[in-house]
Structures are given as structure tokens and as C-alpha cells.
A and B are shown apart, each in its own frame.
Chain A
């Protein structure tokens, strides 16, 4: 079933793609809404790069702990998406699909690869989405901002730095 929002997302994708002479057949398939776990698994490189850029100094610099925290964020994003209505899961699937296609994301403002992406460049890309006058670009920024930062600070291991002691113990 096609929702109005989905048509708009695909519409934007179509316009963007037209400039690069690329068709986006994947976005045009209807069918069941994607599962969060599947979406995250299919877009791990993109989500990891976006999470590293959004979180910046919130993440530990050391390798294994850093990887563990980013891994926890991605897992939490999957769980969050799974608890959203089908229409929203489709929108997120469309957004991730756009960001996965190099020509499409180049038109959105980032033409690089996701694995090993420079966080400063990704930050500038995200800021461009945020400051755009196009509502759908802003929506994309807020979706990523809220999903990643909300998922990160849901983890008790991240609380110490915020001063939040966690819930009180009940007798």
C-alpha cells in the first residue's frame, strides 16, 4: 500500500535520481514493511558512519569499547524501528535506501562511501540536511538525530557522563 508520505519520498528520490540518470527500482516495490533488525543489518555502514558523526566525543576513543557502544546503538535502533507502525518503517526504509545509493545521496549532499567515512564530512552533510529549506531533508536529519542520540542515551553505560544516576532503588 502506498502512503502519501511514501509517494513524496519516492517523488524526491525520483527527482534527485533523474539528474543522475539513475532509476531507483528498489524504492518502488510495495510489500510488507521492513523489520528494524533487517534494515539495520542492510545499512550498517551508513548507520555506523552517521552514529560516529552525531555522537562525536560522546564515544570512547579506544577501539573495542567504542565498537561495543556503536554496536549497542545500532541494535537499539533496530529494536526502536520494530516498535513503529508499518507506515513509519516504510519511510525509514525509503530513507535508508536513498542514503545507500551513492548517486542519490550525492544529490542530498554526500557523495562519499560509508565505510571509513570522515566524521567531519558526514557532520557537514548532516548539517546540510538540517539547514535545508526542503522539509524532507530536514525530516531525514531529525529522524537520524533522534534515533541515534535517543538510542545511545537509553543505555545505562552512557549515563555517568551526564550526571544522571539512574532510577532510584525501591525498598
Chain B
């Protein structure tokens, strides 16, 4: 039986408040209040608490840990994901997988770890005045995170789902490389997306949050951050509502946190939404703008023999070939990866109904699934989406898919089909309602080139949410500066993926870890000096 470090820690006296169990209002006081416990909030909590600062962490999701993770989609999606893993953009054309639990998306991600690509940092330096963010400067921060989270080469054989990408890429001269993963003693089960039951994944849940709690930090789960109370240039308090049950119903208790400094780390979409609800100053209209998703296309392939895409490390191979075939700010590039194949996610992704759907799903064992993650935010025609508030204050991302995107989508479908056929696929089915499947590369090429891809019919998904509180040297271009400090409010920082001024062009967790570590270390120094 595996130990559960969270439950052991709680038994030892870690300070955790489940706000859904509060019988009355609660008031907390801290040096730093961190809102959100994902990649940004987790690193910030660790770095800040290690300098002796008193930290309170606020999380809307539940505290679930390894012994709760039973590798069942029916349990994982409603309890660990935003909107039961069915969060969508305003026109419902993009489905967003984003975590909503202690540890945020790091609790449910597929462990892929990439440093921020050099072309991305270069673009930020040139376009957003972030001149300090050189590869050399950031390397030290990435290295710290890599050491803490055991990020290293994955040396075990790739599962067949990933091997198809490698094999097909080799056949057509497309370079495919191995993904580094944040795991220690991984059992190679394939259920990273449902919470790691063996504690092998070095997520925030198993590393930084326990470190902060062991230093006396307080964790409040099931508390929704409603608004920051501010006056002049300072925030005085955070007001939260306790949640009830596992979903979105409100409880009756309120939680109020006063602190010297506030770190917003709710992830893109939720971080800008909190600042919007708080009516934070936004003199240049940057808040909630330029939210990016790596909008992704899906291509299935019948390989004619067992793939068993549910088994084994979900992502171990990638190709950046199509990111480098044109300039970063030219036609939209895309990264290729494999995606795990489990019944619910697969059943939702497969097009059609009745006989057609059934035929696909009864062949799930032999099905390989490839995804193309499009790099958004580098071209004038790729402005991303805008976070808005619904009448009840709930956020909604309005992200229009335009011709610039669909040009990339078509190239991505073509690239994936070519690779899948080169690897031996008998049939390839790019996920669009109008495609029933192609039996050869020639047929796929002709069919795809004739097809006018469009929102909804072409299935688009995202697991990476970035931007909305962009950093920029000048306050006219961003919400925060290069250290995540709010341009107008002096004791407010944003430390999560929402500070990225473009998408990353790679799975973003390590980019968030490295940048947050740097910015939290700077904040700790600033606070020490008063």
C-alpha cells in the first residue's frame, strides 16, 4: 500500500481548513496570501515560506491526495477539474482541461516538462521589453525547479501510443524527441490525468505545498476568492465564499484574509477574473486580454494492432518540427504530441453517433491518438481570447477561432495523418464531424485539402491556459511587470501562467515553475527590506 504524504502530514498537525465544513465565518492574517495552489501558487508558497514569511494559501478546489486517486474518470473529472473537465470557451468551440484541486493542474497534468523555448523568450524581450528574460538568466531558475521536481529524461520505453509518433516521424524525416517528466519512481501506469496514486508525480501537491505546510503555512480549500478589497494603491484583504459539495454551490460561511502582500495564482481565466471582479485599476485595458490556449487538434488512427493508449506514461515523445518550419511570428506553428486514450475522454472526442461511434469505440484498443498544439499569440492575427465576467461573476473566455488558426489546423491534420500513415495506420480520422476516416495518405491529403475547417465541427481542445494578466515592461502593454508585480497596485503580484504575454509553444508547467521561483525570490527579498 502506498503512503499518502498529505494525510500523514495532516495527522501530524498541518494547518488545513476545509471551508465547506466551516460553521461560521473565518478571519485569517498572514504576511502573504496566495490565491491558487497550482504551478504558480505552489512554488510561490514554498519559496516565500522558506524565508520565514507567514503564508496562507486559498484554493477553490478540494484537497484530494494519492489514496483518493482511484484512476477512475467518473471520479477524477468532477472532483479535480474546472467545470467537470468540460470548461468551454464562449461559443463552446474549445474544450479546456484545467485543474481545480489542491495542486491545480499539476495534480492532473501529463508531466511533460519543457523549458520556455528560446524563440518565445526572444519574442518577449523584443516585443514586451522583458529584456532580463534571456535563456542564460532563466536557465538557473529552470534548473532549481528541475532539481526540486526530479525533472529528467524518461528512459523507459515509450508506450505504443507515443512510439507511433516516433516511428512515423522517422519515416518521413520529422525529428521526434523524448519528453522530460517530473516523476520520481514512476510506475508507468498511464493515469497521470486522474491524480497520481503512487506519489511518483512531483506535482505541487506532493512537493511545494507539503513543504510550505510543514513550515506552518495555512491551506484553506473549498474557498472561492470573490474579490480583493483595495484602496489607493494597496490591497487590504481578500474576501472568499466557502463552497458546498463538490461542485459550484456556495456555502454560507465567508473567509476573509488580511495580508501584507497578495499573490494571485488562480491560473489564466480565473486570475484575470478575480482582478476583474475586484475592479482593479486597468488604465490601458489589458486585463483579461490576450488569453492563450495552444488550441489543439486531435487525430485518431486505427493501427491494426494493439496500442492500448491508456497504459504507460501518457506523453514521452514530441516533435517541434512544425514549430520551426516558419518564423515564430509567421504562419502558426504547432507542436506534436500523443494523448492518452481513456473511455470517457475518447468517447467524447470521437465524432458521430450510434453505429459509427460504436465502431470507433470498440476499436479503442488499436487506436492511436495524436494531438497538435498550436502556438498562439505571436502574430497580429493571433490575439487569443478575452476573459469576461458573466452576470454572476463567473468567468467566461471568449476565444474566436479565425482563418489564421484554421490554416494551421489544416496543416496540423495533414502532418498528423502523414505521420500516422507512415507509422502503419490502416485508417486515420482527424476529429471533425464531417470526416468519417481516410484509408490512405493520398485520400487524407485530398480530403483534408478540400475541407473547409470551422468552429465546432472541427473539434478543438486545450490543456494549457496562459495570459490574461500579461507581463510587460511598460504599463501600457501589460497588467504586471517582469517580476509579476502589478503595475498599479503595490502589494499585489500575479504568479501563474496568466502572466505570459504569448503562449509558450510547449507544455507550460516548467515555464511557470521557473518564472515564479525567480519572481517569488525577488518578492521575498523586497518584503525583507520592507
Contacts and interface: CB of A to CB of B under 8 A. Distances in A.
B455 A145 contact: no
B78 A79 contact: yes
Interface in A143-171: 143, 145-146, 149-150, 152-155, 158-159, 161-164, 167-168, 170-171
Contacts of A152: 347
Chain A interface size range: 35 or more
Interface in A15-43: none
Nearest to A120: B354
Contact of A84 (B83, B358, B396): B83
A92 to B, nearest CB: 11
Interface in B105-134: none
Interface residues of B, number: 50
A104 interface: no
A155 B71 CA distance: 13
B231 interface: no
B441 interface: no
Contacts of A62: none
Contact of A158 (B92, B343, B363): B343
Interface string A89-123: 00000000000000000000000000000010001
Interface stretch (B40-48, B387-395, B417-425, B512-520): B387-395
B192 to A, nearest CB: 13
B325 interface: no
Contacts of B391: 1-3, 87
B355 A85 contact: no
Contact of B357 (A87, A139, A149): A149
Interface in B442-471: 455-457
* Chain A interface main SS type: helix
Contacts of B78: 79-80, 83
B342 A170 contact: no
Contacts of A57: 354-355, 358
A87 B394 contact: yes
B394 A162 contact: no
B247 A168 contact: no
Contacts of B86: 80, 84, 146
A67 interface: no
A171 B198 CA distance: 10
Given A57-B354, A138-B456, A149-B348, A85 B189 contact: no
Contacts of A69: none
Nearest to A131: B433
B198 A142 contact: no
B44 to A, nearest CB: 26
Contacts of A5: 90, 390
A139 B74 contact: no
Nearest to A58: B358
B70 A142 contact: no
A53 B392 contact: no
B248 interface: yes
Nearest to A149: B347
A164 B392 contact: no
A132 to B, nearest CB: 10
B361 A88 contact: no
Contacts of B90: 5
Count chain A CB atoms within 10 A of each CB in B1, B2, B353, B456 and give the residue with the most: B353
A86 interface: yes
B364 A162 contact: yes
Interface string B266-295: 000000000000000000000000000000
B29 interface: no
A45 interface: no
Contacts of B308: 163
Contacts of A131: 433
B236 interface: no
9 contacts: A3-B390, A130-B433, A153-B346, A161-B361, A161-B362, A162-B365, A163-B363, A163-B364, A164-B342
Closest 8 A-B residue pairs measured CB to CB?
A56-B354, A167-B71, A163-B365, A1-B391, A154-B74, A83-B247, A153-B347, A153-B343
Given A57-B358, A167-B71, 4 more contacts: A3-B390, A76-B74, A143-B92, A168-B71
Interface of B: 1-2, 70-74, 78, 83-84, 86, 90-92, 189, 191, 197-198, 245-248, 308, 310, 342-344, 346-348, 350, 353-355, 357-358, 361-365, 390-392, 394, 396, 433, 455-457
